[in-house]
Amino acid sequence: MAKKNLEEFAYKSILQLILDNHFKPGDFLLETELSDSLELSRTPVRHALGQLVAEGFLDKKKKKGCFIPGVSPEDARHVFFARENIEGLAAASAARYVMDEDVAFLYDLLEKETALTQNPSKMAYVRINEAFHLGIAKISRNKYLVQYSRHAFWRSHTYIFFFDKYYTGKVISGNQETGPRQHLQIVQAIENRNEEKAGNLMKQHVRTTFEQLFVKL
């Protein structure tokens, strides 16, 4: 298997272990243990962990390694507030610079998201959701919004993976209706080049995610 493919396999496998509740906030993800369990050399595992650190999902301590950051209500508010405003700006900018092929790309993602209701997969949903949110950031044509959106998106998933009922298995995926509906509304606003509406809808979407995680607890 090529080097790039090994790194991608390691990355997806580590995410899958997290989705399967093998780790929790505060746990260290050790290269040696992951290499043994995944039957890989340490190099692709190290690169995969480095990517997760760069994206904001993991933190790193010198001489100790990579770990899942601890969680707190205050940190959650800060993370989602930042993500709400960063992605709101990205969506507004996307509505200004969107091209026809971008619209087609987004609608294709929505079709794939809808198909998951028939064949649910946590990992597939993570990848489609990532492609949707970071795809809109790319459509903004602003490299800083892309960078900050990626970091905020993945940092917020420290909370989503461990508190969202879909990922913790407390409800079936069919109950997850709010996200796809809001995604469609955001795409329609971007397609119509309505910057204000696209930005406001994205902010509301991220805020809804936060509220569903914490407000009703």
The domains located in the chain, with CATH, are 3-67 (1.10.10.10), 73-215 (1.20.120.530)
Cα–Cα distance for residue pair 144/148, rounded to 1 Å: 6
Among 194, 183, 109, 95, CA closest to 140: 95
Of 13, 11, 56, nearest to 150 by C-alpha is 56
Instruction: Say whether pLDDT at 216 is over 60.
Output: no
Percent of the chain with pLDDT over 70: 91
What local confidence, expressed as pLDDT, does residue 174 receive?
41
The tens digit of pLDDT for each residue in 97-133 reads 999 999 999 999 999 999 988 888 888 999 999 999 9
**pLDDT of 170 over the 80 cut:** no
Quick one: how far is CA 7 from the chain centroid?
A: 19
Q: What is the mean pLDDT of residues 44-59?
A: 94
User: pLDDT band at 2, cuts 50/70/90?
Assistant: low
How far, in Å, CA of 107 to CA of 116, rounded? 15
- pTM of the entire structure? 0.88
pLDDT at residue number 66:
95
